[in-house]
Amino acid sequence: MVDRMGEVNRIRHVAGATPGRQTAVRPGRAAPQSFAQVLAERLGEVRFSAHATARLASRGIRLDEAQLRKLHEAVDLAAGKGARDALVMVDDVALVVSVVNRTVVTALDRESARAHVFTNIDSAVIT
């Protein structure tokens, strides 16, 4: 679709939009995510829920690049074995992950994890 200025408005699918429904990108507005970005998010990236993000912050836990790489590898391994919900130990951090959604649900440091019983998990990955 070409507007009066001769600029090309791109039509892209918006993540979570109804199939077959498209949204036009208008000049001056932020573009929706590209298909490649959405695909990468859905298939490869491990996300952190709001609860997990709050727990990381309140417990002073910071994951560096190497730890994030270990987390991704652990989630990939768990998914390959058919896991749905897993406890992933990355160094001294315990992360409960929804493997199917590739989302970290909560996080604890080693000291906090000692006093907890982890339920509703079907696997554990220790890196």
For residue range 83-105, list pLDDT tens digits in order: 999 999 999 999 999 999 999 99
pLDDT the model gives residue 47: 94
What's residue 126's pLDDT?
Answer: 95
Chain length of the chain: 127
pLDDT digits (tens, 9 = 90+) for 45-74: 899 999 999 999 999 999 999 999 999 999
Closest to 79 (Cα-Cα) out of 22, 123, 34, 28:
123
pLDDT of residue 103: 96
- For tokens 């600029």, what's the residue? 7
pLDDT band of residue 121 (cuts 50, 70, 90) is very high
Delimit the domains of the chain by residue range: 11-42, 46-126
Q: In this model, does residue 3 exceed pLDDT 70? A: no
Convert 69-79 to b/e letters by CB count within 10 Å (16 or more is b): ebbeebbebbe
CATH topology for 46-126 is YaeB-like fold (3.30.2310)
Alpha-carbon span 85 to 88, nearest angstrom: 10
